[in-house]
């Protein structure tokens, strides 16, 4: 069996080793450019000097306003955009692999619907901004937990049960969110709920970055460690068993890890669709379906994509456009293009 896996490693090493490096450099360059863009322009050279001054002492050639804008306002938002894009893309790639379904996305198990219900309930109850984030995160985890419990007790194929339970739970939570919107104060609470569900990184703070760092780290480490086993699982459960892999256990670990990624992302950004569906397909076009390379490339592509979309969101018009609207405008036509080009299933 080892002779089967070794050529895959050789192909990965020979053909795709430079891809994550190139994407990482593009992401770094994109972040620097993003820090310089905005209503108050800051030259890219000064951005680099401001960031380096946090590590090594430099002669100050920038104003205090420049430093405040770059460090306290733009940097947390840009880091958050990269983390959310990275997490949603990793989740989408993982779900598409373990469910062997190219249409799987981060909200397939109702994590996003749970977060929306939790956020709406928190806004209705008058919670603070951070309290809304906590409630969205907890209800997202709870929703997926209930989906897993329901699927365990249902007869038939476990994978199909998960998907059906996710659809059921998502519908139920969407109804609950609609009821909350119905009884919410139309002057203050209803607009806040509606805006949160559109998805936005406006007002991002270092606290938000710190909040999602731990669940993102806990969620992504198992995916990285198990990337070779997930590649085998995409071939089929029988093939995985012959390789000594327990498909049920592996699928459970991937789902739990992906749930953490989705819950953490949606809780701080609101509903941002299409990233977890489109970016893995784009990455698959670049490096193929082998999960061991698809995962890091999807993560980097997702971070770069959401970074670019967020720049458009905050710079295109005088009024900031909710980022969830832009990802839908960009993602839907692009996905149609992939379908028309004959995108292959996982």
Is the pLDDT reported for residue 106 higher than 80? yes
Rounded CA separation 157/99 (Å) = 12
- 272-330, pLDDT tens digit by residue? 989 999 999 999 989 988 999 999 999 999 999 999 999 999 998 888 899 999 998 88
Q: Which sequence spans correspond to the domains of the chain?
A: 27-69, 77-340
Burial class (CB in 10 A: 0-12, 13-18, 19+), 17: exposed
Residue-level pLDDT at 157: 65
Pick from 254, 215, 261: nearest CA to 107: 261
The lowest-confidence range among 46-50, 56-60, 67-71, 236-240 is 236-240
Rounded CA separation 346/334 (Å) = 18
pTM: 0.90
Q: What percent of the chain has pLDDT over 70?
A: 93
Burial class (CB in 10 A: 0-12, 13-18, 19+), 6: exposed
Architecture of domain 77-340: Orthogonal Bundle (1.10)
Pick from 179, 195, 332, 181: nearest CA to 270: 195
Task: Count CA atoms within 13 Å of residue 41 on its CB side.
Answer: 3
Distances (CA, A) of 110 to 150, 214, 259: 13, 22, 10
């Amino acid at each position: 069996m080892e002779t089967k896996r070794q050529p895959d490693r050789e192909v990965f090493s020979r053909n795709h080793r430079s891809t994550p490096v190139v994407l990482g450099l593009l992401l770094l360059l994109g972040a620097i450019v993003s820090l310089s863009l905005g209503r108050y322009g800051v030259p890219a050279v000064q951005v680099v000097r401001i960031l380096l001054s946090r590590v090594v002492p430099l002669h100050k050639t920038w104003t205090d306003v420049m430093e405040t804008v770059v460090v306290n306002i733009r940097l947390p938002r840009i880091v958050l955009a990269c983390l959310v894009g990275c997490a949603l893309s990793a989740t989408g790639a993982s779900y598409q692999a373990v469910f062997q379904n190219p249409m799987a996305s981060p909200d397939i198990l109702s994590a996003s619907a749970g977060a929306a219900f939790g956020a709406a309930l928190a806004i209705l109850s008058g919670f603070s901004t951070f309290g809304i984030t906590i409630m969205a995160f907890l209800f997202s985890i709870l929703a997926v937990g209930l989906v897993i419990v329901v699927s365990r007790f249902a007869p038939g194929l476990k994978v199909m049960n998960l998907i059906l339970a996710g659809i059921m739970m998502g519908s139920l939570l969407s109804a609950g969110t609609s009821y909350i919107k119905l009884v919410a104060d139309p002057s203050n609470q209803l607009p806040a709920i509606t805006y949160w569900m559109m998805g936005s990184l406006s007002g991002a703070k270092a606290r938000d970055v710190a909040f999602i760092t731990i669940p993102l780290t806990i969620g992504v480490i198992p995916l990285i460690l198990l990337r070779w086993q997930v590649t085998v699982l995409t071939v089929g459960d029988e093939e995985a068993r012959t390789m000594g892999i327990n498909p049920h256990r592996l699928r459970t670990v991937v789902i739990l890890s992906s749930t953490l990624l989705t819950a953490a992302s949606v809780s701080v950004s609101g509903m941002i669709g299409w990233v977890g569906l489109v970016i893995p397909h784009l990455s698959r076009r670049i490096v193929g379906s082998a999960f061991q390379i698809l995962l890091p490339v999807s993560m980097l592509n997702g971070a770069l994509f959401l970074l670019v979309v967020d720049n458009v969101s905050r710079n295109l018009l005088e009024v900031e456009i909710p980022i969830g609207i832009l990802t839908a405008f960009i993602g839907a036509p692009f996905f149609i293009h992939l379908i028309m080009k004959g995108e292959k299933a996982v």
